[in-house]
Structure 1
């Protein structure tokens, strides 16, 4: 998602563009897995299929996580921005169909506000690079799936050892 889908001849800044600090704060509020998917795409420029394979997740989850990251900090009431974000993410998926591309074009042509919302979404995507660099500065997101669930594994291991000790004392 590093390239723009539409040419920005005369980008007009939308009212209320977020600052880098507010975007960073919004990204930090996301679940760790969403952050990881977003950073793998934004910083390492991995496509959805590569992220799905690396993290052993379905493509639909990758799309959902990317949409969450793109919408971070936005008002949930802004339906047009949400729709533009969903289109932006969906068009990056390797599973997007020709019919969906036609539907997108129809949506884009249906109203000037749709085109503006999509341009604003692309500008927002660009503005997420600096906060992404701050969020992933130490490379934590490059760790595999096990790194994120290490806490759960240690709890399970502890419970297993406790059960074995308990069975040993009862026998």
Structure 2
């Protein structure tokens, strides 16, 4: 005999949706480059080296951007949560060394709070999929480095042309 699934509490759904909305808002407040790096990794599942090559950035810059994205969704994190986030990002880097992996293991084993903080970081990372999908819905982040730069330039040029037209119209 199979069991029927337990009904989902409406309050739990409301909390999840509120949390998802807050995470999306936090991600939207990040600089565009950080958003782009985050989305390329989270949605397109590109590794740091591939993102670095695509955007012509050093891998260390990709790591910094990923850490910023992860920390943005947990403002006011304690020291253990911040360190866990740094480890989580660093361990995904192609530049991580065997010595760093040993250091991570030592840090993890040093206190139960470290293991708990790292586990919460992993859960927080998983909770970012839905907000990432909403943020990258139109695929803007797949455009190269120049697309982001040209976007601002195009806007400035458009405003300049409009100003010249207005001046020409009034003259």
Same-fold status (TM-score > 0.5) = yes
TM-score after normalising by structure 2? 0.78
Say which SS state the counterpart of residue 44 (structure 1) adopts.
coil
- Matched with 1:58 is 58
Aligned residues: 143
Equivalent residue, structure 1, for 2:88? 88
What are the superposed Cα offsets for residues 78-131 of structure 1, whole Å, 9 maximum, x if unpaired?
A: 111110000000000000000000000000000000000000000000000000
Q: Distance in 1 between matches of 2:36 and 2:85?
A: 19
Gaps of 5+ in 2: 1-14, 161-171
Cα separation, 2, equivalents of 1:83 and 1:69? 14
**C-alpha contact 1:40 1:141 (8 A) present in aligned 2:** yes
CA deviations 1:4-24 (Å, max 9, x no partner) are xxxxxxxxxxxx987100000
Q: Which structure: larger Rg?
A: 2
1:1-171 residue pairs with structure 2 within 5 A? Answer: 19-151=19-151, 153=153
The SS at the match of 2:63 is: helix
Work out the CA distance in 2 between the residues paired with 1:27 and 1:75. Answer: 12
Q: Distance in 2 between matches of 1:66 and 1:73?
A: 12
Which of the two has greater helix per residue?
2
Separation (CA, whole Å) in 2 of partners of 1:115 and 1:65: 24
Q: Unaligned stretches of 5+ in structure 1? A: 1-15, 160-171
Displacement of 1:76 in angstroms is: 3.9
The ranges of structure 1 where at least 4 consecutive aligned residues each deviate by more than 3 angstroms after the TM superposition are 151-156
User: CA offset at residue 74 of structure 1?
Assistant: 1.7
Contact 1:76–1:82 under 8 Å retained in 2:
no
In 2, the alpha carbon distance for the partners of 1:63 and 1:35 equals 13
Rounded Cα–Cα distance in structure 2 between residues aligned with 1:123 and 1:144: 30
Report the 3-state secondary structure (helix = DSSP H, G, I; strand = E; otherwise coil) of the residue aligned with 1:149. helix
Q: Describe the SS at the equivalent of 1:19.
A: helix
